[in-house]
Structures are given as structure tokens and as C-alpha cells.
């Protein structure tokens, strides 16, 4: 019973973090984005206006139009709700896939024939 309580508590804490705290993540570029932008100049709208950098080769990925692209849920206009739901969906999907794999790969007692 302790394992089940631990898993449920962990899942609830993770859902809370993904659904609420994810909205407070920094919007500033991370280290990789910063390095990719090095060498270019930008205008006030953050568009490349000159120089040479890796960011000039940037393009949308193949799943850019998917329902959970860009840390949000497509069709929901409230940014806070959209980001939270996206985080919750990601946690539930990861938990389902991980739990399914553990269930499939678990050790089983050999069946005894009488």
C-alpha cells in the first residue's frame, strides 16, 4: 500500500508543478538559444537585422502545428490555462507510457502447474 500512496502523491505533486508552476518559467532564451543568436543583430521586435549566426537557419519543426506545440494547447486563448493544460497533458502521457512499459516489462512469477 505504501508504494501506491507514494506513486499517487508523486503524480499529484508533478501535476501541480506542471499545471501551475510551469507558467512562471523564464521566457528568456536559454544557453543554446543564446549561442545560436551570437553574431547577429536584432531590432526591437527581436527579428534578425544583420550579422551572421546560426539562428538565421532557424525554421519550424515538423510538429509546429500539433495540438500541444509551443508549450500550449491549440485553440485555448487563455495563455495561463493553455500552458497549464499542456503541462498536465505531458505529465499524464509520460506517466501512462512509463507505467505501461513497467507493467509490460515487470518480473512475473512462473506459473505453477498442479
Q: Where are the domains of the chain?
A: 2-105
pLDDT of residue 64: 85
Average pLDDT estimate for 71-92: 92
Q: Is the pLDDT of residue 78 over 90?
A: yes
Q: SS3 string of the chain? A: CHHHHHHHHHHHHHHHHHHCHHHHCCCCCCHHHHHHHCCEEECCCCCEEEECCHHHHCCCCCCCCCCCHHHCCCCCCCHHHHHHHHHHHHHHHHHHHHHHHHHHHCCCCCCCCC
Q: What is the pTM of this model?
A: 0.69
Q: Is the pLDDT of residue 104 over 90?
A: yes
Q: Is the pLDDT of residue 113 over 70?
A: no
pLDDT of residue 114: 56
**39-59 pLDDT per residue, tens:** 999 999 989 999 999 999 888
Amino acid at each position: 500500500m505504501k508504494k501506491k500512496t507514494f506513486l499517487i502523491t508523486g503524480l499529484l505533486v508533478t501535476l501541480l508543478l506542471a499545471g501551475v508552476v510551469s507558467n512562471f518559467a523564464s521566457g528568456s532564451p536559454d544557453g543554446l538559444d543564446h549561442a545560436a543568436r551570437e553574431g547577429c543583430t536584432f531590432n526591437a521586435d527581436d527579428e534578425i537585422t544583420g550579422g551572421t549566426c546560426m539562428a538565421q537557419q532557424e525554421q519550424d519543426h515538423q510538429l509546429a502545428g500539433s495540438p500541444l506545440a509551443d508549450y500550449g494547447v491549440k485553440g485555448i486563448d487563455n495563455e495561463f490555462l493553455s500552458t497549464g493544460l499542456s503541462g498536465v497533458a505531458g505529465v499524464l502521457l509520460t506517466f501512462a507510457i512509463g507505467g505501461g512499459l513497467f507493467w509490460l516489462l515487470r518480473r512475473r512469477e512462473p506459473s505453477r502447474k498442479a
